[in-house]
Amino acid sequence: MTVEQTRYVIIGASAACMSAATAIRESDSCGDITVLSMEQEMPYFRPMIPFLISGKKSEPEMSLIGNGPFKEPKIQIRTGTRVTSVDTDNKTVTVGNSDSISYDRLLIASGSNPFIPAEIKKMSAEGVYSLRTLGDAKKIAARSSKTRRAIMLGGGLLNLKTAFALLERGLKVSLVVYSGQVLSQLMEPDDAKLIHKALDRAGLEIITGCDIKKILTDKDGVKGVVLSNEKKVEGEMLLIGKGVSPNVGFLDKSNVSIDRGIVTDEYTAANIKDVYAAGDVALTIDSLTGKKNISGLWTNAVEMGRCAGFNMAGKQTRYCGVAGILNATQVADISFVSMGIVHTKGAGYETHIAETQKAFRKLVFSSDGKRLVGAVFIGDIERAGLYRYLILEKRNIEKIKKQIINHQLHYGHFLQ
């Protein structure tokens, strides 16, 4: 007697999708797994795309195939395949104009789209890009060869990494930030002083308190911009990094519940039976605040996708939620870690700050002082992993609070 194979369809081909596919295969050796990717390239490590621009990494070095969360060869990947609609009543996914694919279990991990301000959408020109995909990175790298100065809009982490990729190629870079600081999602203005100094040393021009009013063009495309303060900035390339929005447009008639992103429960399931969501398209719980949140972090997407994969294959697995902010990286010549709750003004948290000319440390405790709920380390990130553990585990730290504040925390304290 032949046992019917379960048909798994996964929309998207990044971190959540690939880890989900691997988890499914671990639990179901026979099921049919189809991954649908709108990109032309095979799955790759998305956080590496600025390195393609700088030349530090080649496309083959960024491949997910056989690496990381994706080691299973028995998965069908269809690239260049755009999903246009989902019919949850008949359990079908439409790609292109008419091609229909049936599923028994569906994972939506379609990621996010770059947010392009309406006024810039109206000013189309050669040399205007956003960076979300490997295809975008290839275009930016190609344009860089005939660019002296790049103009970048937005002060987020990806934009900063891209700015430094372009600086490494020998370009001059101007960063236009409407707010008064860079990395505003990861730290408060007073926390970012050392990072601003590092950016200045690296030669990055930062223009704050204004936006782009007009794009100036010639026969080759972009030649500069006019800012909202009427200042003109020259440049042959404009990169937009003003945030993202979940890619859910194809779900308009699907009956899948959407509130900013796809609403999921603690098992990554959507409101429709046999439909799941993971990655930065999914609305999930912030484990520290208890609020619904969308996480754009690769590591969170991997964990969420793995949970979704197990659940799709019948192995019930609870997803504990994201931990709000959780970033460890380097910009210019300075490393930093930002994790948990870091925006504290007027919120009643207990904060302790220590700073020198080369390092900054901010610790955020719950209002009753019994739990560490957030931290920012800049310059000196030694032992940051220990603080991360206390935050994620929600440990009562009253007995070791003095050591935490004085930065004397060590592994021995976890034995108490």
Match 């490494």 to its residue by tokens.
168
Match 């009956």 to its residue by tokens.
255
Give the model's pLDDT for residue 93: 98
Does position 33 have pLDDT exceeding 80, yes or no?
yes
The CATH superfamily assigned to 7-113+245-312 is: FAD/NAD(P)-binding domain (3.50.50.60)
**The two three-digit tokens of residue 289, written as one number:** 């605040």
Q: What is the largest CA-CA distance in the chain?
A: 75
Does 3.50.50.60 match the CATH number of domain 116-242?
yes
Give the model's pLDDT for residue 3: 59
Domain boundaries, the chain: 7-113+245-312, 116-242, 341-415
Percentage of the chain exceeding pLDDT 70: 96
Percentage of the chain exceeding pLDDT 90: 76
Please tell me the distance from the alpha carbon of residue 298 to that of residue 376, in angstroms, as a whole number: 20
Please tell me the distance from the alpha carbon of residue 132 to that of residue 55, in angstroms, as a whole number: 17
**Which comes out higher in pLDDT, residue 72 or 274?**
274
Q: What is the mean pLDDT of the chain?
A: 91
Q: What is the DSSP letter of 180?
A: S
Give the type of residue at 240: I
Give the model's pLDDT for residue 31: 94
Tell me, yes or no, if the two domains 116-242 and 341-415 fold the same way: no
Does position 2 have pLDDT exceeding 60, yes or no?
no
Give the model's pLDDT for residue 125: 86
**The two three-digit tokens of residue 268, written as one number:** 């990554």
312, HSE (Cβ side, Cα atoms, 13 Å):
36
Question: What architecture does CATH give domain 341-415?
Answer: 2-Layer Sandwich (3.30)
3-state secondary structure of 223: strand
Give the model's pLDDT for residue 69: 52
Enter the pTM of the model: 0.90
Instruction: Indicate the burial class of 392 (C-beta count within 10 angstroms; 0-12, 13-18, 19 or more).
Output: middle
Instruction: Tell me what the mean pLDDT of segment 149-168 comes to.
Output: 94
Give the model's pLDDT for residue 1: 40
